[in-house]
Amino acid sequence: MKKITGFVIKHSSISLILLFVILISLVFIFSNYTIFVIDWIRNNMLVVATMFLGLITYFYYRTSRRTMWHQALLEFQKEYRPTDMMKAVRELHNYYRKTCGNIEESKKEGKLREDFRKLIEKNEDCSENINRRKVEYFFLHLAILYKRKILTGKIIFDMFSERDLRIIPKIIIPLSQELQNYVDEKDSIEPTELKGKKIMLKLYEDSKI
């Protein structure tokens, strides 16, 4: 036991000496490095100031974007959650099922547009068109923010799944394009493509990735 204790004490003493030597060396190296850094800063104050300003600008930009995302999300949550918006979405799906429920998939869009044309010819302020307008405005606004990278795909697709966004190509675009065609015919001009169609479709397609 004494031999072991002596061995431990002996090697512990050596270890302490080595540790002390290492610490002294580090202090010496660090002191020289510190002097070098101070001299460099003195000689490059403009560079240091520019770097510091760049860091402040970067962190301000990141903070501003987070704030902007948060505010945009709050606005969308306020707009999508109210009873009238949920009711509009539900009634559009019910209208689709009622109109296209028992026909072939390839003929559903044509049937939907045909039926909708009859409704708006009688009354442009029919409930189907009011619901269409409300829901289209919401998703068009969302698609614009996505295109401009104000809201990222990760944020949007955490809130809205591909199933939620399927209403865009399935119902919103066919109805809106038919309304556009109807208006163009009344104004005696060539049919034009629905404004916002591409960016809404882009939002939907990216949700499937």
The amino acid occupying position 170 is K
Q: What is the pLDDT of residues 87-132, one digit of tens each?
A: 999 999 999 999 998 889 999 999 999 999 999 999 999 999 999 9
Report the C-alpha gap between 119 and 117 in whole angstroms: 5
Per the CB < 8 A criterion, the answer to whether 175 and 128 are in contact is yes
pLDDT at 58 over 60: no
pLDDT at 3: 35
Dihedral sign from CA coordinates of 163, 164, 166, 170: positive
Q: Is the pTM of this model over 0.85?
A: no
Per the CB < 8 A criterion, the answer to whether 174 and 117 are in contact is no
